[in-house]
Structure 1
Amino acid sequence: MLAIEADALRRTYTSRTGWLRPRRTETEAVRGVTFDVAPGELFGLLGPNGAGKTTTIKMLNTLLLPTSGTARVCGHDVARDPVAVRRRIGYVFGGDRGLYDRLSALDNLRYFAELYGVEARDQKRRIAELLDLVGLSGREQERVEGYSRGMRQRLHIARGLLHRPEVLFLDEPSIGVDPVAARDLRRTVADLAAGGTTVLLTTHYMAEADELCGRVAVIAGGRIRALGTPESLKARVGDRDVLEIEVYGVGEDVLDGVRRVPGVRGVAVEERGTAQALSVQTDRGAELHAPVLAALDGVRVGRVISREPSLEDAYIALVEGEDSPEPDHERAGEEAHDLTEMTA
């Protein structure tokens, strides 16, 4: 039996615009998503903001009803048998909501253990196990309001594991977390999968997915664009080279000029402090240093290197040229409300 089965999932949001002449508009956030996850697998769902990741995960964990299509978790239909699904899953989302800042970590876990129906005689041992797992032993008596972002995220994971779920949904758990805390989170997630927990991880950090996931699905515009191992996705850009250029203050007009250089297959830019990292995908063997640098005329340029394509480059190739993300309905509603629904 598969841990997760999604078949042609769709979710449409209806909204009203205008005051004197209100008009109903529909937005398809998820458009026919299909994939499955095996028991014990660490599966990644990758995509930009507004791509449909969170909407998909909320349909799988019963917080949203699909407009059409079906989904099963541990053999139970998410629409027909949501209570059975909720007993078998945990849900951890990125951000600050979902914990009580004025309580200690220990009191938070005691409170949620009651909500999750953990037997009183098992709570002390289970909480101690989880505090040790996420590296918070010795800090459990401190108020959460004094915790760093990384510590909060680790406590979120402990909360989601209290009732020993068979499937754990991690929705961008490392968002806004510093590199050291993100490394610790990745280690915790890897340990969970090694222990047999099925994990579905949504993220837009490619290095995180490349390190952790056995298989990944790239979602953009509400549709699955590619599905496979990180290695198989990298093979899609095996006919390309990558120029990585350190730039300062590059604008969209300049990037458009780089895209127009013959032989350039894709362009992406990432902020890195005061500088930017410009990745330019080119045809394999094409010597485009000179024309690309010429297109950057007037922009301050630092280090220039050539390298092999990464998972991030494969991801860029898959989503490059897609329509702009639709309005982000994914996080509609309060996460605290979601958590109350999950424990109901």
Structure 2
Amino acid sequence: MERAVEVKNLKKYFISRKKKLFKTIDKKEFRAVDDISFDIYKGEVFGFLGPNGAGKTTTIKMITGLLRPTSGYVKVMEKDVDKNQMEALKNLGTVLAGDRSVYWKLTGRENLEYFASLYGCNSKEAKERTSKVLKKLELEEKADILVEKFSTGMKQKVALGKALISEAPVLLLDEPTLGLDPQSALNLREIILNLKNEGKTVLLTTHYMEEADFLCDRIAIIDGGKIIALDTPENLKKSINKVKLIKIEVNNINDGVISDIEKIDKIETVLSEYDSEKRAYELTIHHSNGEEIIQPILDILSYNKSSIKNIKVVEPSLEDVFISLTGKSLRE
């Protein structure tokens, strides 16, 4: 298969220095990205996931040329991002998380025509590309309204339009549905699938595991600066078939109870989340033998007066794969 993006032996180390009286008395090396390699093939949606502090953002910054690697390289459409940045980045359209990358005092149309001109389009080409992108994103009716009056979902569509206006073959979408309402998020996911069907290559980061499962052909999980898993969503879920899951809803819980449950033999991880709608805490317990562990769990909950509202055995999801591999939820 042809590669659209090649990441090879990529490293990024930071040096922290402790000074006293203008002299360095201690120097430590922090390995944010520690020798990772992966390929993204043309025409696929590739998910890149990791908990906070895992090295994901640092990697994204090196792929987009915002940060130089300590060693290793990134190539986009065979062009080295560090050595031949301008040529490489012509092939990459980006939407970065939390980046207010469009002008709110301009209309959607004016924004896209402006960015088209930055990519070297003349006036006629800029108008043609803008019309095409507005149609693709279903923004034609709102095109001449100031962006500041747009909903969050529409603003995100304009940001995506900025990435599309370059007609780059590779798109980097960094948490594109973050903060969107369910309907806006669904619309944006459908647009991403349409882009894939048009032959675009998409590198996607997200904090929504169901989104990654729905959109991605393959997923890489980074933790501690290293790639700890890389496969299709289906194969990742199969990889923890030996790990079983119990979900228990209780009216109250505390760290001491969770700690006691974690000490039970054959339990791997315990995650607790509060569901405000159900007004209950949900314990997600990864284990390797439900028959032996269920009674000790019930005993601990009963001793601590945690009333059980519901208990069920479930099939592993992609979120469960992530928890099994990293010991934490993707949103942590």
TM-score, scaled relative to structure 1: 0.86
Q: How does 1:195-344 map to 2 (within 5 A)?
A: 195-247=198-250, 250-273=253-276, 275-286=280-291, 288-296=293-301, 297-299=304-306, 301-320=308-327
Q: Where does residue 142 of structure 2 map in the other structure?
A: 139
Tell me whether 1:192 sits opposite 2:214 in the alignment. Answer: no
| 313-322 or 12-21: bigger deviation | 12-21
Shift of the 231–24 alpha-carbon distance from structure 1 to 2, 3 Å rule, reads: same
SS in 1 for 2:272: strand
The two structures have a TM-score, normalised by structure 2, of 0.89
Give the CA deviation at 1:129. 2.0
Match of 2:15 in 1: 14
Equivalent residue of 2:297, what SS?
A: helix
Q: Does 1:94 align with 2:101?
A: no
Q: Residue 3 of structure 2 aligns to a residue in which SS?
A: coil
Change (3 A) 1:128 1:204: same
When residues 19 and 251 of structure 1 are mapped into structure 2, their CA distance, relative to the original with a 3 A threshold, is farther
Distance 2:158 2:282 in 1: 33
Q: Distance in 2 between matches of 1:181 and 1:232?
A: 29
Q: Does 1:4 align with 2:1?
A: no
Out of 161, 165, 171, the position equivalent to 2:174 is 171
Equivalent of residue 44 in structure 1, options 43, 47, 50: 47
Q: What letter corresponds to residue 291 of structure 1 in structure 2?
A: P
Indicate conservation of the 8 Å contact 2:322/2:328, yes or no.
no
- Which deviates further from its counterpart, 255-264 or 289-298? 289-298
Distance apart, 1:221 and its partner CA: 0.8
Aligned equivalents of 2:59, 2:202: Cα separation in 1: 15
Distance 1:249 1:62, change over 3 A: farther
Q: Which of 123, 128, 148 is the aligned partner of 1:125?
A: 128
Q: Distance in 2 between matches of 1:137 and 1:249?
A: 50
CA contact (8 A) 1:61 1:85 kept: no
In structure 1, distance between residues paired with 2:149 and 2:313: 44
Aligned partner of 1:278: which letter? Answer: L
Query: Which structure 1 segments of 5+ residues have no match?
Result: 326-344
Which moved further from structure 2: 203-212 or 141-150? 141-150
How many residues were matched structurally? Answer: 323
Contact 2:267 2:286 in 1 (8 A): yes
| Structure number with higher relative contact order (C-alpha < 8 Å, ≥ 6 residues apart) | 1
- Residues of 1 paired with 2:54 and 2:266: CA distance? 28
CA contact (8 A) 1:94 1:153 kept: no
Identity of aligned residues (%): 39
Distance in 2, Cα, partners of 1:10 & 1:33: 7
Tell me the SS of whatever aligns to 1:4.
Answer: strand
Choose 243-252 or 216-225, whichever is displaced more: 243-252
How far 1:279 sits from its partner (Å)? Answer: 1.4
Tell me which of 140, 159, 163 is aligned to 1:160: 163
1:172/1:18 Cα in 2 relative to 1: closer, same or farther (>3 Å)? farther
Assess, with a 3 A threshold, how the Cα gap between structure 1 residues 14 and 111 changes in structure 2: closer, same or farther: farther
Q: Distance in 1 between matches of 2:99 and 2:81?
A: 27
Q: Distance in 1 between matches of 2:129 and 2:252?
A: 51
1:138 is paired with a residue whose SS is helix
Q: What per-residue deviation string (whole Å, max 9, x for no partner) do you get for residues 177-230 of structure 1?
A: 222222222111111111100001112321111111111111001100011111
Kindly name which structure, 1 or 2, has the bigger radius of gyration based on alpha carbons.
2
Q: 1:27 aligns with which of 27, 30, 34?
A: 30
Which runs of 5 or more structure 2 residues have no equivalent in the other structure? none
Deviations 1:296-325 (A, max 9, x none): 434454332221011111111111289xx9
Cα distance, 1:266–1:146 mapped onto 2, change above 3 Å: same
Distance in 2, matches of 1:97 and 1:180, equals 22
Structure 1 residue 293: Cα displacement: 3.7
Taking the aligned partners of 1:249 and 1:177, their CA distance within structure 2 comes to 31
The separation in 1 between residues aligned to 2:309 and 2:130, in whole angstroms, is 50
Measured after TM superposition, the shift of residue 24 of structure 1 is 4.4
Between stretches 36-45 and 288-297, larger displacement belongs to: 288-297
Alpha-carbon shift at residue 2 of structure 1 (Å): 1.2
Query: What SS class does the counterpart of residue 98 from structure 2 fall into?
Result: coil
Residue type of the alignment partner of 1:283: S
Residue 234 (structure 1) shift: 0.8
Secondary structure at the aligned position of 1:256 is classed as: helix
SS at match of 1:135: coil
